[in-house]
Amino acid sequence: TPSKEGKMFIKALFDYDPHEDKAIPCKEAGLSFKKGDILQIMSQDDSTWWQAKHAGDANPRAGLIPSKHFQERRLALRRPEILVQPLKVSNRKSSGFRRSFRLSRKDKKTNKSMYECKKSDQYDTADVPTYEEVTPYRRQTNEKYRLVVLVGPVGVGLNELKRKLLVSDTQHYGVTVPHTTRARRSQESDGVEYIFISKHLFETDVQNNKFLEYGEYKNNYYGTSIDSVRSVLAKNKVCLLDVQPHTVKHLRTLEFKPYVIFIKPPSIERLRETRKNAKIISSRDDQGAAKPFTEEDFQEMIKSAQIMENQYGHLFDKIIVNDDLTVAFNELKTTFDKLETEAHWVPVSWLH
């Protein structure tokens, strides 16, 4: 709608370089951006090419970016697994900016027939990350804290950072208490180390989607429930949660307003230098079996971080490289302070 022009902000969920874009009418008129950039939409008059500029730039230049609709469709074309029926696209080559820009305005009909889609539900754009409309949000003093999700590859130091944060202010930060079906040990109390429940109840809760994640270890179930996140927030604490990145999409609701921090490994050279004497607990199920890092662990960590970033990078609000632990911790602390005091971009859907 025209009234929205210049007032609409979007977060880019993909990297864009107009020079690599065969479809853009004029490469020089394009605006390049990176995944995570916030763009201000200046015009949506054209259904294929929007005009936008970088938000917060002192001297922003407006340029053309692919419209959401156009980008979704061509991304869907490149990823056939999200298509039910392959769509046909004619790659119309265009020469000058002026001519093609005007042309593409006029030939909305042509644009439509470019995509021969029999039924609109034949492709699902939900998994095609393009743009997300965002708005600034600042937490009010009487409001609950936002959920903070920490993600990162095994061995990157996520647990160490989380532990440091917890002990820095135990009144302010909290973690979830997991559920388990194993028997309580004598020194443990229900609701402290774990919430102890029966296998039957655990299975029922899984059926009812009460768990964010769960796993099996030595014939017992262990898992983190959504309610355990709620109970930390209800105590007026910042809830620190570390989960697999695929879990994040279930938490992206107005109730949790998750702020996602990706803990990234430094270069392999720096890993070798900084983790020389450190130990790795290679998986959740290898409890206690901490071993010195091997070269394979470093390579695995970097590879797994790359996969996470490629696949889920559009969900990350902040990336912190854990090179030196103290430096990373200070950056984490600053990030938390800002989160509580400054405005941050959140999806518009979280505010209604």
Residues at the site binding ligand 5GP, with contacts judged by CB under 6 A: 178, 182, 213-215, 217, 222-224, 284-285, 287
Report the C-alpha gap between 208 and 169 in whole angstroms: 34
Torsion of Cα atoms, 153 then 156 then 158 then 160, to 10°: 150
Q: How far is the CB of 31 from ligand 5GP (least distance, A)?
A: 43
Q: How far is the CB of 167 from ligand 5GP (least distance, A)?
A: 19
Q: How far is the CB of 173 from ligand 5GP (least distance, A)?
A: 18
Nearer to ligand 5GP, 6 or 217 (CB): 217
Residue 277's SS3 state is: coil
Question: Do 291 and 279 form a contact (C-beta atoms < 8 A)?
Answer: yes
Nearer to ligand 5GP, 131 or 222 (CB): 222
DSSP-assigned letters across all residues of 56-113: T-SSPPPEEEE-HHHHHHHHHHH-GGGBSSPPP--------HHHHHHHHHHTHHHHHH
Q: Which runs of E-coded beta strand occur in the chain?
A: 8-12, 38-43, 49-54, 63-66, 131-137, 148-151, 173-175, 179-180, 195-196, 211-217, 220-225, 238-242, 259-264, 279-281, 290-292, 318-321, 344-347
Q: How far is the CB of 287 from ligand 5GP (least distance, A)?
A: 3
Nearer to ligand 5GP, 45 or 286 (CB): 286
Residue 163's SS3 state is: helix
Q: Which of 279, 228, 280 is nearest to 256 (CA)?
A: 228
Q: How far is the CB of 257 from ligand 5GP (least distance, A)?
A: 22
Q: Which of 276, 279, 268 is nearest to 305 (CA)?
A: 268
DSSP assigned state of 292: E
Q: How far is the CB of 97 from ligand 5GP (least distance, A)?
A: 54
Nearer to ligand 5GP, 44 or 180 (CB): 180
Q: How far is the CB of 194 from ligand 5GP (least distance, A)?
A: 7
Nearer to ligand 5GP, 30 or 178 (CB): 178
Nearer to ligand 5GP, 217 or 254 (CB): 217
